[in-house]
Structure 1
Amino acid sequence: MKLFLKSILVSSVALSASAFATELTYKVYNPQTQGIFPVTSTLISGEKDAILVDAQFSTHDAKNLVKLIQNSGKNLQYIVITAGDPDYYFGLEPLVQAFPNAKVIATPEVVKHIEATKVGKFAYWGPILKDAAPTQVIVPNATEAKSIELEGEKIEIKSPGKYASYLWVPRNRTILGGVGVSSGIHLWTADAQSEKERNAWKKTLKQMKRLSPSAVIPGHYIGDIPKATQAIDFTYQYLVDVDKVLKDHKDSASVIATLKEKYPNLAEESSLELSSKVLTGEMEWK
């Protein structure tokens, strides 16, 4: 199987797997540095139907997704939300308005987390998003399904626990990594505040690696999508380094300086700064 990349619009890429009778095409939208977070949404398309994975943070970016889907000419069957963080679901409002027949689903863990945190997240992020904030926070419907189908092709919903999930397409060995996989940026570790939580994260990355994927689409990334499992490897090593640094440094300034020195070329320094304050106990984050 051969995967290739090409530009679509200003800030999207497309991956296409063409070795099978039912061709699945992956169009990846990511606002890169134009967004608050470089969060990924992926349109998986068959011949006639499509599935959208994750809904963007701002409604402005979500409206770009609406155009992308409309221009594809596909029938949108599902919108799958893989994580309980607001950059994965705050953009649902214009998508649901444009595609009222699409089923909006997430794992029970993701839905539970959204329900428990949506008020606080909107209070924090609403003023930052300004006119790109949703007027209504839409919560996905919980599903116990372990997979969904797109024109006969199985797409597995992997739910390793807590409030994050990822998708696995066995036929062309593609992982849509969700919040668990990043590339080109400092990781947002404020939601993995204990070593136990970070170890669980690393365990999930090991599970992904054991699937031997041909392609991995990170949930957050700056730049190009890395080849094969490079994004998994980067994310894992970054978490290892975070734990090492936290053992030697107890204040956020030292943690920030050490990780900047180790990763001088990564974007999203604001994520490093906030996460370091949370991990050292200098700031509360829920």
Structure 2
Amino acid sequence: MPTRRPPLSYDVFVSPEKPFAAPLPRFGDTPAWDPTTSTLIFGAREAVLVDALMTMREATALANWVALHDRQLTTIYITHGHCDHWLGLPVLLDHFPHARVVATAGTIKQMHRGEQKNSFLARFLGQIADRTVQVEPLNVTSFELEWRLLQVIETGHTDTVDTTSLYVPDLGLIVSGDVVYNHCHMYVSATTAAIRAEWIGAIDKLAELHPAAVVTGHKDPTCGNPPSVLAESRGYLEYYGQLREATLPDRELFDAMVSRYPDWVGRQEFLILGLSRATG
């Protein structure tokens, strides 16, 4: 009789909004980074962490939270190159020195963009551990956690280039990175119509998996992880595209998005219109 394997489980850590150094915007909330998630997938003995947050304070809180699960952290997977998902790695590796850090080649390429990192170091002055860590390129489309596959889904250009999501078939779980947002205003300011079309295609690709749960890279901390966020994010991109085509003034466009999604967190001008426009 075959040995029955213990089921996998998952848990989500949500770091709240945090202020950062920037001139006051013309409208919207005062500058603050939107709530960001890390997801722990674990079996009977081992665990995989998806994304590593950014500041020393939140990465320390994340490490303590991971330790409470009493599993061996074998792997940290980074979904994409945006700094708010990986600058916390030095702190995590201080706590879990035997964990390996993996990402796709495209993600690693984006992580090496010095100008992006320098921008974050300036915005969060003195709050980030500026140390280099070794990230292994993941040259396969899946890796294992206690003999169960975790599948890497390449999602292309969404809110940045070379993004990925992670799919856990045993749980019907997608950890989407920034491909999908959950009741949090999306980082659409740098998108064109072509980019939004590619982004929508990536969301549709994830929807074809018919997941039972979707953990997004940024979310309202009070929300769960329902698959309905796929359609909601798709609708957000479509509505934003309609407003862009109408060539509305910045204030009207911003107000229209906030009016359409009044309960979403992250009412930030830089997310919808960009930092350069937000600061004049």
TM-score, length of structure 2 as denominator length? 0.86
The aligned counterpart of 1:173 is: 172
The aligned counterpart of 1:122 is: 117
The aligned counterpart of 1:277 is: 273
Q: Share of identical aligned residues, percent? A: 23
The aligned counterpart of 1:156 is: 151
Q: Which segment drifts farther, 156-165 or 73-82? A: 156-165
The aligned counterpart of 2:126 is: 131
The aligned counterpart of 2:239 is: 241
The aligned counterpart of 1:256 is: 254
Gaps of 5+ in 1: 1-19
**3-state DSSP of counterpart to 1:30:** strand
The aligned counterpart of 1:113 is: 110
Q: Whole-Å Cα distance in 2 between the matches of residues 277 and 200 of structure 1?
A: 19
| Structure 2 residue 30 is matched with structure 1 residue 46 | no
The aligned counterpart of 2:205 is: 207
**3-state DSSP of counterpart to 2:237:** helix
- Residue type matched to 1:79 in 2? I
Deviation (angstroms), 1:283 = 7.2
How large is the Cα RMSD of the aligned pairs?
2.1
Q: Whole-Å Cα distance in 1 between the matches of residues 52 and 146 of structure 2?
A: 22
Q: CA-to-partner distance for each residue in 1:51-108, whole Å, 9 max, x for gaps?
A: 0100012121111121122222211111000011111001111111222221101111
- Residue type matched to 1:145 in 2? V
Q: Which segment drifts farther, 39-48 or 226-235? A: 226-235
Q: Whole-Å Cα distance in 1 between the matches of residues 100 and 170 of structure 2?
A: 23
Which structure's residues are more often helix, by fraction?
1
The aligned counterpart of 1:267 is: 265
The aligned counterpart of 1:12 is: none
Q: CA-to-partner distance for each residue in 1:137-186, whole Å, 9 max, x for gaps?
A: 53622211100101111110111223210011112211111111111111
- Residue type matched to 1:252 in 2? D
Contact 2:188/2:273 (8 A) holds in 1: no
Q: Whole-Å Cα distance in 2 between the matches of residues 266 and 137 of structure 1?
A: 35
- Residue type matched to 1:147 in 2? S
The aligned counterpart of 1:97 is: 94
Q: Which segment drifts farther, 135-144 or 235-244? A: 135-144
Q: Whole-Å Cα distance in 2 between the matches of residues 32 and 156 of structure 1?
A: 28
Q: Which segment drifts farther, 136-145 or 176-185? A: 136-145
**3-state DSSP of counterpart to 1:130:** coil
TM-score, length of structure 1 as denominator length? 0.84
**3-state DSSP of counterpart to 1:40:** strand
**3-state DSSP of counterpart to 2:126:** helix
Deviation (angstroms), 1:227 = 5.2
Q: Whole-Å Cα distance in 1 between the matches of residues 18 and 130 of structure 2?
A: 22
Deviation (angstroms), 1:34 = 5.2
Q: Whole-Å Cα distance in 1 between the matches of residues 237 and 76 of structure 2?
A: 30
How many positions carry a matched residue from both structures? 259
- Residue type matched to 2:41 in 1? I
**3-state DSSP of counterpart to 2:166:** strand
Q: CA-to-partner distance for each residue in 1:96-137, whole Å, 9 max, x for gaps?
A: 12222211011111111111x2x2223222233233212225
Q: Whole-Å Cα distance in 1 between the matches of residues 260 and 253 of structure 2?
A: 11
Change (3 A) 1:202 1:51: same
